């Protein structure tokens, strides 16, 4: 009996280690329209998930990797006064598509709460740009920001501990800088002091100890510098990657603790197409994962091996049984 249990445990562990894989979710117009795709970490095994005449963009994995949130931008119709963008959720195999918001305005850039029960997003529904969150089960919506200065506020990321939400907003003399709010919107603080730059595409590290973002500086209309910056959550600089003269980075996200994923284009015109690259932190090596004539836009990365394929604690329990 003990031998049977041992064999079953070994098979289970082998399946866990071999079936699990990492996936990149992204947007591309490779088939003519902007749709949601997934691919493996090396750029292979590309699979199209959405098939819709409207523009699908900004996909993000749910915390358990079973679903993908994104926004869908409806095509302009003759006589239409307002553009409309809404938030959708689907399973990772594109089944069970569900519309989460339904408003004649811009509901954009959905980000999951760490428990997967809520989604924060940017919206123009009040007449100005604000950050909201919605309970997926009840559809109850709560406004988190009060944009008294005007200008675009962009939803960026929710901290892994669920306590803070990062967003970007104008703050003179900065074009756009990073702010943090409590998850209930009660307090807001500027993450860094301003300096005539544009800060964008903010993401917490998986352990919640660091913040990753892009920074660009302009002289008039001319781009003069572009950097990828990593700081600890207190604002202390940990690493600065200078992309000036190499690539213009549109967005960046973590890819484990050794790599970053970068959505970028050539520094000098003509800049098309945009590609998705893997950046190795230790060596600075930049590897093109897409290399197509189409435009690819980075969405998100998830490591299936880090997900709760087995409930928390079960893996260590199984190893404990093996030792016995």
- pLDDT of 21 reads 63
pLDDT digits (tens, 9 = 90+) for 146-203: 987 778 899 999 999 999 999 999 887 778 899 999 999 999 999 988 778 899 999 9
Contacts of 55 (CB under 8 A, 6+ apart): 33, 34, 72, 73, 75
Domains identified in the chain and CATH numbers: 1-20+309-324 (no CATH), 21-308 (2.120.10.30)
- pLDDT of 291 reads 92
User: Are 304 and 22 spatial neighbours (Cβ–Cβ below 8 Å)?
Assistant: yes
**Mean pLDDT taken over the chain:** 87
User: Are 211 and 202 spatial neighbours (Cβ–Cβ below 8 Å)?
Assistant: yes
pLDDT digits (tens, 9 = 90+) for 278-310: 999 999 999 999 999 999 999 999 987 655 443
- Mean pLDDT over 317-322 rounds to 32
How far is residue 197's CA from residue 218's CA, in Å, rounded to a whole number?
7
How far is residue 311's CA from residue 296's CA, in Å, rounded to a whole number?
35
**Count of residues making up the chain:** 324
How far is residue 27's CA from residue 260's CA, in Å, rounded to a whole number?
17
According to DSSP, residue 236 is labeled -
Residue 59's pLDDT band (cuts 50, 70, 90): very high
Provide, rounded to the nearest whole percent, the portion of the chain with pLDDT above 70: 85
According to DSSP, residue 197 is labeled -
Please determine, for residue 249, whether its predicted confidence score (pLDDT) is greater than 90.
Answer: yes
How far is residue 187's CA from residue 203's CA, in Å, rounded to a whole number?
20
Spatial CA neighbour of 69 closest among 83, 58, 79 = 58
Output the six-digit token pair for 40. 């493996």
- Mean pLDDT over 209-225 rounds to 94
The CA-based angle 189-218-213, given to 5 degrees, is: 40
User: Are 203 and 157 spatial neighbours (Cβ–Cβ below 8 Å)?
Assistant: yes
The CA-based angle 98-100-101, given to 5 degrees, is: 140
């Amino acid at each position: 009996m003990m031998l049977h249990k041992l064999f079953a445990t070994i098979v289970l562990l082998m399946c866990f280690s071999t079936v699990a894989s990492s996936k990149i979710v992204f947007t591309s117009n490779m088939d003519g329209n902007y749709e949601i795709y997934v691919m493996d970490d090396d750029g292979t095994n590309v699979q199209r998930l959405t098939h819709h005449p409207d523009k699908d963009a900004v996909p993000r994995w749910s915390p358990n990797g079973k679903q993908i949130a994104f926004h869908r931008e409806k095509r302009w119709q003759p006589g239409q006064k307002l553009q409309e963008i809404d938030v959708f959720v689907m399973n990772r195999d594109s089944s069970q598509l569900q519309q989460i918001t339904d408003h004649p305005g811009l509901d954009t850039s959905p980000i999951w709460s760490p428990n997967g029960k809520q989604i924060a997003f940017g919206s123009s529904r009040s007449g100005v740009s604000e950050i909201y969150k919605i309970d997926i089960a009840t559809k109850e919506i709560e406004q988190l920001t009060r944009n008294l200065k005007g200008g675009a506020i962009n939803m960026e990321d929710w901290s892994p501990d669920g306590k803070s939400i990062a967003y970007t907003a104008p703050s003179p003399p900065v074009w756009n800088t990073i702010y943090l709010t409590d998850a209930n919107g009660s307090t807001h603080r500027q993450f860094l002091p301003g300096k005539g730059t544009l800060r964008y595409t903010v993401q917490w590290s998986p352990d919640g100890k660091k913040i990753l973002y892009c920074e660009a500086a302009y002289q008039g209309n001319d781009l003069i510098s572009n950097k990828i910056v990593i700081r600890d959550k207190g604002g202390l600089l940990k690493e600065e990657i200078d992309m000036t003269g190499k690539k213009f980075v549109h967005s960046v996200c973590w890819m484990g603790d050794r790599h970053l994923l970068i959505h970028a284009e050539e520094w000098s015109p003509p800049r098309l197409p945009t590609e998705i690259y893997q950046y190795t932190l230790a060596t600075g090596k930049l590897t093109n994962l897409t290399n197509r004539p189409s435009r690819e836009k980075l969405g998100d990365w998830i490591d299936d091996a880090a997900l709760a394929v087995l409930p928390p604690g079960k893996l260590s329990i199984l190893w404990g049984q093996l030792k016995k």
